Amino acid sequence: MTDRSKDNYRKGKEEMIQYLEDVKFAVESIIAIVWTEYTQIEQLEREIRKLERIIQFNLNRVQNLALSDDDDDYLLAIQGQWDSYFGEEKDHYYKNRDVESLKKSFDAKKFSINCLSSTLLQIAKQGITTTFPAPKAQQSFERCPNGRLVGTQPLKIVLRQARNQSMHYDEDNSMTQWLNDCFDKLTQEFGKQFSDYQKTNKAFEVINLLNWRSFANFKMDMMSFVSDKNI
């Protein structure tokens, strides 16, 4: 790398540092909202699954007693039905009502989470184009170092294609071969949650994969593009 290139690189590092400082509040706010909502959904679903297991166990126990020829077992079965009704099943009813209500708005919540995650990807993309300015975004990404590997793919590739996917997933014939290749590899290497990328926004899945649960993690990835190791 020539002295001029090194100077440009150091200037880019300063610009990245300033850019991250400028977007810190926005990034922290987005990450906090995304993971708070996601955690609440997970917790409620765990509680429902736990109650459903308890209810199924009690139901099986009552059914087995009811099939018995022993009169005492039959009476125990009747008692078990009432205990279940006023105990776990009542609790399950209210919990299930809560989760059904949540599921009705789940699509809207998922849409909101993905929109916020898309914004986070856009902020990351803008950081690269600001640090490595060029007439076209493609040229900025060509100038940008690869960053860490995400599976077998460079971070910069995943960021760009994930941002593009989240912006254009609902548009016909908008997927480039680069985007298809990127998400096919993500599906192969990390799971089927990435497989329906041609019809579903995958911004949150990518944020989750990158472990962007804090500004520190986001900053670490962004600063990797201007690490002195790249000089």
pLDDT digits (tens, 9 = 90+) for 105-151: 667 778 889 999 999 999 999 999 999 988 888 899 998 999 999 99
- H or E element, residue 116: helix 106-131
Residue spans per domain, the chain: 3-230
Neighbours of 184 (CB within 10 A): 13
HSE-up (13 A, CA, CB side) for residue 51: 21
Looking at residue 98, its pLDDT comes to: 64
The pTM for the full model equals: 0.77
Looking at residue 73, its pLDDT comes to: 47
Looking at residue 27, its pLDDT comes to: 98
Nearest Cα residue to 29 out of 227, 165, 218 = 218
CA 85/CA 66 separation, integer angstroms = 16
Classify residue 230 as exposed, middle or buried by CB count within 10 Å of its CB (0-12, 13-18, 19+).
Answer: middle
Looking at residue 137, its pLDDT comes to: 85
pLDDT tens per residue across span 199-223: 999 999 999 999 999 999 999 999 9
